[in-house]
A and B are shown apart, each in its own frame.
Chain A
């Protein structure tokens, strides 16, 4: 019973993690940019959701239709204004830039929403479905379900539309894509914007799961990096598998070993994967010499 409950919670948490990690892995796959600001953008979206909820009382899960385009716009502006400028620079440069961006966003959130915890508490935030002896938190279940829907849409866009094909083509072979007429700069801006747009839905879900605070983003970016390293950097299905595995691992560790170790799981995974299987579960090994 305890195991069933723990695994159930882990899978639900993992589903939400999958959505949060999807944007990060997508952006890395196409542009080789590790967007360290993804966590900060996630918190920003959560605070936008809080603001919408406070002013209008709109359900945070419905607020996704507002936060997603909003974050898409933020992502597009950031790419055009900042990241496009370091396209040719070494990857380390983009890490530095996005880290600076994360700190700037944290400061900005502190100015606007002050350094206090903000909570979005719709009627169902602290209630559960009870099935047998198990409990299924409603907020987490709704969040997980929403995440699945958004991920499904994202997957369809990537596989069934020309835009999606252009994005995947740019990820797999940049020169080849250019050769067949893909405008890679536009595709890059679009991908980055989509990557950031996923934080819109993610942030709205997050806002009902826990109180958020400008500095909350550090722990999120560490978790998300663990997930995409395990899944294989750049792979969307990989991110989903990685998220589910780590969601379960985190909860099982917390219940059977100690909550003290549950976060360490993420960091241990990063180290072990890099040592044993650097491409992760679903990532492909690139021949950097040819690609370069």
Chain B
């Protein structure tokens, strides 16, 4: 009898072990090359709040690694990834990068996900003189520390992410242009600056701000916020959203029965199916967002990336996977150009002075490591996400405006 009573406890222990192992796994590289593999270390949020983008990042790095190894490796060495889990925790990410550098002695580093984690992690890399390319670190706080070795592998920093949207609003004829705007935003180092960027540009163009409250990351109830916005009657809503909050606000606006003439959200609408299933496909019509990457763009290797992802993981890659792939491409370009990984100051110097072709388009950086290009403006149209600006990569020639009423009842 005693044995049976211990069974559940044993099962739970097993569960703990399994959960622990799975979040600590590191993928190893291919085989068959005689020289020592080139080890690239990264810590990613594979559990906790950022687990979703963290996993996408890992997929992006993995696809890149397999493509590089298939083509003979980097500097003729097979590439090995050492990915550890920081549980979305700032303290853990710091100790992870310290360990990768000083104990595991990895050859190269790749960044983690989110500005929140990259800000402390990049400080570790800078101190150790390691080149640090991060896939998602657009917060202004990343670039005001005069670091020489950090590079943000996306087309623009957060403040300029929605430039195309703001320019488009300003270009509307005076009688159609929104006159008032609401800027609800999560207290998030990546979302808030984007919305502030839009706000500054639209206020300068004479569009009045009627709502601008900030809510914390844990907010789950948006009914009151929606009701507040409804009372303010803005023509345009630009929300600094991550995911859950973007879904929450749309749902609550539908429930409150308020539909603005134009709706922009950061990040959330770029999550494809997850977004449309969560808000209801009919409610996505006309929602704008800015993206760093589009599956349709004809940049070198983009189609190969799509195919490799489809084969290995199935489906369309997440934007975060594409950004991570691009971050690895940036590092690869520098290593190939310099021809060695021993002096990383040389890698950083090279990146400061050159343009790199990635699946996000060509990227270049200023002396702080901030990228100098522009994000793509996308919009949900008839249940699918379309690129609407800039015109040379657009997948749809029209822009839905004004936004029709929410597709759901209410």
Which of B5, B23, B215 is close to A260, meaning CB atoms less than 8 Å apart? B215
Q: Is A22 an interface residue (CB 8 A)?
A: no
Docked complex Cα distance between A116 and B47 (Å)? 11
User: Contacts A111-B18, A111-B22, A128-B410; is A254 near B254 (CB within 8 Å)?
Assistant: no
Q: Is B225 an interface residue (CB 8 A)?
A: yes
Task: Assess the A117–B18 pair: CB atoms within 8 A.
Answer: no
User: Contacts A125-B251, A130-B257; is A117 near B224 (CB within 8 Å)?
Assistant: no
Q: Is A32 an interface residue (CB 8 A)?
A: no
B 233-255 to A, binary, CB cutoff 8 A, 1 in contact else 0 = 00000000001100110011011
Q: What residues of B have a CB within 8 angstroms of the CB of A77 in the complex?
A: 8
| Among all A-B residue pairs, the 4 with the closest Cβ atoms | A107-B19, A81-B8, A259-B215, A115-B51
Q: Is B382 an interface residue (CB 8 A)?
A: no
Task: Assess the A210–B244 pair: CB atoms within 8 A.
Answer: yes
Can you give 17 contacting A-B residue pairs, CB < 8 Å? A6-B224, A9-B224, A103-B16, A104-B19, A106-B47, A107-B19, A114-B55, A116-B274, A117-B244, A121-B277, A126-B279, A215-B88, A251-B221, A251-B223, A254-B224, A255-B227, A258-B214
Residue among A108, A219, A255, A259 with the highest chain B CB neighbour number at 10 A: A259
Docked complex Cα distance between A140 and B227 (Å)? 15
Q: Is A262 an interface residue (CB 8 A)?
A: yes
Which of B18, B225, B255 is close to A259, meaning CB atoms less than 8 Å apart? B225
Q: Which residues of A contact B (CB under 8 A)?
A: 2, 5-6, 9-10, 13, 77-78, 80-82, 85, 100-101, 103-104, 106-108, 110-111, 114-117, 119, 121, 125-128, 130, 135, 137-138, 140, 210-211, 213-216, 219, 250-251, 254-255, 258-260, 262-263
Main DSSP-derived SS at the A contact region: helix
Task: Assess the B8–A117 pair: CB atoms within 8 A.
Answer: no
Docked complex Cα distance between A250 and B257 (Å)? 22
Shortest Cβ distance from B253 into A: residue: A126
Tell me, rounded to whole Å, the shortest Cβ–Cβ distance linking A209 to chain B. Answer: 8
Q: What residues of A have a CB within 8 angstroms of the CB of B214 in the complex?
A: 258-260
Q: What residues of B have a CB within 8 angstroms of the CB of A125 in the complex?
A: 251, 280
Which of A80, A128, A210, A262 is close to B255, meaning CB atoms less than 8 Å apart? A128
Docked complex Cα distance between A130 and B254 (Å)? 12
Q: Is B95 an interface residue (CB 8 A)?
A: no
Q: Is B204 an interface residue (CB 8 A)?
A: no
Task: Assess the B255–A117 pair: CB atoms within 8 A.
Answer: no
Task: Assess the A215–B51 pair: CB atoms within 8 A.
Answer: yes
Q: Is B307 an interface residue (CB 8 A)?
A: no
Q: Is B172 an interface residue (CB 8 A)?
A: no
Task: Assess the B16–A121 pair: CB atoms within 8 A.
Answer: no
B 170-183 to A, binary, CB cutoff 8 A, 1 in contact else 0 = 00000000000000
Task: Assess the B12–A82 pair: CB atoms within 8 A.
Answer: yes
Q: Is B33 an interface residue (CB 8 A)?
A: no
Task: Assess the B278–A117 pair: CB atoms within 8 A.
Answer: yes
Q: What residues of A have a CB within 8 angstroms of the CB of B49 in the complex?
A: 215
Which of A2, A104, A263 is close to B218, meaning CB atoms less than 8 Å apart? A263
Tell me, rounded to whole Å, the shortest Cβ–Cβ distance linking B276 to chain A. Answer: 10
Task: Assess the B277–A2 pair: CB atoms within 8 A.
Answer: no
Task: Assess the B20–A107 pair: CB atoms within 8 A.
Answer: yes
B 8-48 to A, binary, CB cutoff 8 A, 1 in contact else 0 = 11011001101110110000000000000000000000011
Task: Assess the B47–A128 pair: CB atoms within 8 A.
Answer: no
Q: What residues of A have a CB within 8 angstroms of the CB of B70 in the complex?
A: none
Q: What residues of B have a CB within 8 angstroms of the CB of A107 in the complex?
A: 15-16, 18-20, 22-23, 47
User: Contacts A127-B409, A130-B257; is A251 near B244 (CB within 8 Å)?
Assistant: no
Task: Assess the B277–A119 pair: CB atoms within 8 A.
Answer: yes
Q: Is B101 an interface residue (CB 8 A)?
A: no
